[in-house]
Amino acid sequence: MRTGDVAARLAELALGARCPGCGAPGMGACAACAAALRSVLPFGVGGLPDGLPPVVAAGAYADTLRKVLLAAKERNALGLLPLLGGRLAAAVARLVLDAGPVSSLVLVPVPSAPAQMAARGVDLTASLARSAGVRLRSAGLGVRVHRGLALARRPEDQAGLDRIQRLANLAEAFRPVGVDASGPVVVVDDIVTTGATLAEAVRACRLGGGHVIGGAVVAATMRGGGAR
């Protein structure tokens, strides 16, 4: 048995560790699940609110990607952030290729609620943005991650709300806090479902003087189009 296989089984025995994608013993995503996620091509998300710039998702919020994202969001599996950040980088890369060449880019993460950050011990969206920035810089793109948005008020829980209700719930929920206007802005988030969150983030970025060229997410739900 290979050393890596032994380590994976020891991790399962000692820690109950399993791949969130397929349940195989080991720490984090197994090689097969990681390779499967990396093989998915990013795509443009349709059916979003009018006026929202192009949005690209690294994959559909289903199957392995859904399980891995949920592990990072709900079970504090922070070791998955580099893998998911790499997928976010792929979505940004596709957006840039479609929009035209740029030499620099500013990634602005959608702000997380304080309660979420306290529960997770990390700002998940900002961490994904930083990981994506590392990957994009290694490809030669000048990238800055700037936390240029903050919560202006606490919106209600989005669960069970339709698109119109989500748009109303999030209206003016974000405020700009020194948006970096030194280059094109891409707003980033983990999941897009109706587009309400991204629409509000784009509005706030533009209010702060940012030139927003699009949005990028790790995953998009497939109920007729995409944001949270």
Mean pLDDT of 18-37: 90
Among 209, 204, 214, 212, which Cα is nearest to 152's?
204
- Residue 70 host element (H or E): helix 63-74
Which comes out higher in pLDDT, residue 154 or 14?
A: 154
Of residues 213 and 164, more confidence is placed in 213
Specify the DSSP element, H or E, that contains 50: none
Residue of higher predicted confidence among 118 and 151: 151
Mean pLDDT for 69-81 is: 86
Question: Shortest CA distance to 95 belongs to which of 195, 193, 184, 4?
Answer: 184
**Residues 221, 222, 224, 228, Cα dihedral to 10°:** 0
φ, ψ dihedrals at 145, nearest 5°: -105, 125
- The answer on 77 and 23 residing in a single domain is no
Q: Is the pLDDT at 174 greater than 80, yes or no?
A: yes
CA dihedral 44, 210, 113, 218 (to 10 degrees): 20
Which pair of structure tokens corresponds to residue 39? 């093989």
CA-nearest of 211, 208, 222 to 66 is 222
Assign 58 a pLDDT band (cuts: 50, 70, 90).
Answer: very high
CA atoms of 114 and 117, how far apart (whole Å): 5
Domain enclosing residue 214, as ranges: 41-227
Do residues 23 and 132 both lie within one domain? no
Query: pLDDT tens across 182-198, in order?
Result: 789 999 999 999 999 99
**Do 44 and 224 form a contact (C-beta atoms < 8 A)?**
no
Please check whether residues 127 and 189 belong to one and the same domain: yes
Mean pLDDT for all residues in the chain: 85
134 in the same domain as 72: yes
In percent, how much of the chain has pLDDT > 90? 61
What percent of the chain is modeled with pLDDT above 70?
86
Q: Cβ(95)–Cβ(126) under 8 Å?
A: no
Tell whether 10 and 103 lie within a shared domain.
no
The confidence score (pLDDT) of residue 11 equals 44
| DSSP category for residue 122 | S
In which band, very low, low, confident or very high, does the pLDDT at 168 lie, cut at 50, 70 and 90?
confident
User: Which tokens belong to 137?
Assistant: 């810089």
Same domain, 196 and 89: yes
pLDDT at 223: 66
Residues 172-181, mean pLDDT to the nearest whole number = 83
3 state DSSP class of 150: strand
Residue 56 sits in the same domain as residue 93: yes
112 and 9 both lie in a single domain: no
Determine the Cα–Cα distance for residues 115 and 136; give it in Å rounded to an integer.
30
Q: Tens digit of pLDDT for each residue in 128-151?
A: 999 999 999 999 999 999 999 998
d(CA 184, CA 174): 19
- Cα 192 to Cα 141: distance, rounded to the nearest angstrom: 25
> Do residues 63 and 140 both lie within one domain?
yes
Q: What's the number of domains the chain is made of?
A: 2
